[in-house]
Amino acid sequence: MTAVVVLAAGQGTRMRSSTPKVLHPLGGRSMLGHVLAASEPLGAEHTVVVVGAGREAVEAHLAQVAPKARAVVQEEQLGSGHAAAVALAAVPDLEGAVLIVNGDAPLLRAETVTSLVDAHRAAGDVLTVLTAEVPDPTGLGRIIRDDAGRVRAIVEERDATPEQRAVREINAGVYVGDAVSLRDALARLGQDNDQGEQYLTDVLALLVADGRPVGGSPAADAQDVLGCNDQRELAARRRTLNDRVLDRLMLSGVTVVDPATTWVDVTASVAPDAVLRPGIQLLGETTVATGAVVGPDSTLTDTEVAEGASVVRSHCQGAVVGPEASVGPFSFLRPGTRLARGAKVGAYVETKNAEVGEGSKVPHLSYVGDATIGRDANIGAATVFVNYDGVAKHRTTVGDHVRIGSDTMLVAPVTVGDGAYTAAGSVITEDVPPGAMAVARSHQRNVGGWVGRRRAGTPAAEAAAAAETRTVASDEGRAAGSTTDDQ
């Protein structure tokens, strides 16, 4: 394949969005990203993307997802034929086969594009159009063939006869053609239509009139060619794409308990014998290994879940959950979190840039940030790794077999040595030697009668007075009993 041309200059006004239409996301990629991914296996020498509306955003996106692609600006949106001509003009010496595809066809698959190119080469046609059989072709251009099955025309519905409107084979808007022949035909396109635009479909009519061989290759799945013009259609394409992903996963041996509430990006991967429970999203480059269980109600972004691990009702972003480790419920693993084998991050725990060693536990109600925790350590409830001094972040190191008491503040930078303990309620500001018990809390002082003096008339004061009365009566009873015994 010599070149791929993607038409991505349209306004997309029906999307009712400031985001360029081709940049709307679904299944882990933009619409444009899906089209580029479908054409990538062709190994084209040139990829040209025609941009127009929102071109700065589209060009920036291209730099991220397809840095080798070349963006060409269509200054005026004068139709699909004009856009194709602008693309070919940017590569004036181009020869060989060119694929032309719309940038708003997110369901287009690589195998469909490859099949189209193969059919084009096998037939030796100058132009081959991708077609599809649909149950309701209303509003779509019909493919008109002769008795020999050769494509003779693409007729828009407004121009079609009743017999032509009954045809269910439609134009998918994807073409493969000879670059030289395409350039010649595009140069002859007129603008004699209601919109005053140059239509790519008219190229086919010109080539047929020239007596050049034109063919059509039907897509195996008509959904491949569905475009996306408004938010309703975008939602429908998301569902179709996700259904395809889940179907592939289930056929490979993944258990998907409730496909209706399970969303997996095309960029994510799930191994056989993993279990996806209801209400989960696997986004970005997330991977889930064999035997892992994710969900219910969890969102994982760019996260690695290893063999036998579990994530329950939690959010993980840029994290690594090691083999047989467990997360949740209601935890938040932020970027840089790495859990070793058998580690546990329990309920209502937040971690960030933290390494939790093999077999170590952060069971509940804690924050672990910028930390390294050794193996088989236990972090008590309500522990906070105090990592930020208002200017810079600092790191805390907790050794092997350490026991951090509940409600401990570890003020970084600080190190707790192997086998050490901290007493509950301590504020640790200095290193704790291995095997030591760190106690960092002030002596308790009880100020008697404070509530009665400072909160007189409150329920607390009344409760305290009643308790004092009971205490006095009890003391007097014990004293009386002691006097009787003495007699």
Q: Does domain 3-225 have CATH number 3.90.550.10?
A: yes
Q: What is the mean pLDDT of residues 253-258?
A: 98
**Which residues neighbour 181 within 8 Å (Cβ) at sequence distance 6 or greater?**
126, 127, 207, 212
pLDDT of residue 481: 66
Using H for helix, E for strand and C for coil, what is the string for the chain?
CCEEEEEECCCCHHHCCCCCHHHCEECCEEHHHHHHHHHHHHCCCEEEEEEECEHHHHHHHHHHHCCCCEEEECCCCCCHHHHHHHHHHCCCCCCCEEEEEECCCCCCCHHHHHHHHHHHHHHCCCEEEEEEECCCCCCCCEEEECCCCCEEEEECHHHCCHHHHCCCEEEEEEEEEEHHHHHHHHHCCCCCCCCCCCCCHHHHHHHHHCCCCEEEEECCCHHHHCCCCCHHHHHHHHHHHHHHHHHHHHHHCCEECCHHHEEECCCCEECCCCEECCCEEEECCCEECCCCEECCCEEEECCEECCCCEECCCEEECCEECCCCEECCCCEECCCCEECCCCEEEEEEEEEEEEECCCCEEEEEEEEEEEEECCCCEECCCCEEECECCCCECCEEECCCCEECCCCEEECCEEECCCCEECCCCEECCCECCCCEECCCCCCCCCCCHHHHHCCCCHHHHHHHHHHHHHHHHHHHHHHHHHHHHC
Q: What is the mean pLDDT of residues 260-287?
A: 98
pLDDT of residue 192: 62
Output the pTM of the full model: 0.89
Which of 26-35, 86-95, 354-363, 399-408 is least confident? 86-95
pLDDT of residue 476: 64
pLDDT tens, position by position, 49-61: 999 989 999 999 9
Each domain of the chain, given as residue ranges in start order, spans 3-225, 253-438
Residue with tokens 């014998």: 273
| 127 token code pair | 């132009």
pLDDT at 1 over 70: no
Q: Identify the band that residue 199 occupies on the pLDDT scale cut at 50, 70 and 90.
A: confident
Positions annotated as catalytic residues are 364
Using a pLDDT cut of 90, give the percent of the chain over it. Answer: 82
pLDDT tens, position by position, 173-197: 999 999 999 999 998 987 665 566 7
pLDDT of residue 2: 86
Rounded Cα distance, 53 and 38, in Å: 23
Residue with tokens 């121009």: 159
Integer angstrom CA distances of residue 227 from 15, 78, 167, 454: 12, 20, 20, 73
> Any idea which architecture 253-438 has in CATH?
3 Solenoid (2.160)
Integer angstrom CA distances of residue 191 from 82, 116, 180, 216, 418: 10, 29, 21, 25, 80
- Mean of pLDDT over the chain: 93
Which of 17-31, 76-90, 414-428 is least confident? 76-90
